[in-house]
Amino acid sequence: MSETNARVVLCTVPNTEVGGQLARGLVEARLAACVNLIPGVRSFYHWEGAIHDDAEVQLVVKTRAALVGEVSAWLEEHHPYDTPEVLALPVSAGSAAYLRWIDASTEG
């Protein structure tokens, strides 16, 4: 199975309000075809010498491989965290129609 042109970018945010603003901005900029907000994420992590336990919202961003750098830069500019999570995952397979829609919905 060959890898597709699609990518899923994961990014956590502090709440649904911030998540909605970032999601709308990415879609409006045509950097993402779709962004899902998944509330109820609990994150444990090291930051500035302490272990944190925070409630967060997970963004699931659907985009094209060629736009991952722009998505990352856009998130880093607009995100409230000093170091936002931006992890791009390859999509190994998917519905042909959905993959075409991702391509058509993001800037050309």
DSSP string, 34-45: EEEEEEEEEEEE
**CA–CA dist 74, 68 (Å, integer):** 10
Render the burial of 37-58: b for 16+ CB within 10 Å, e for the rest.
beeeeeeeeeeeeeeeeeebbb
- If you compute the radius of gyration of the chain from its CA atoms, what whole number of angstroms results? 14
Stretch 3-15: mean pLDDT: 95
Give pLDDT, residue 11.
98
pLDDT digits (tens, 9 = 90+) for 19-70: 999 999 999 999 999 999 999 999 999 999 999 999 999 999 999 999 999 9
Ordered structural domains, the chain, with CATH: 6-105 (3.30.70.120)
Contact 56, 14 (CB under 8 A): yes
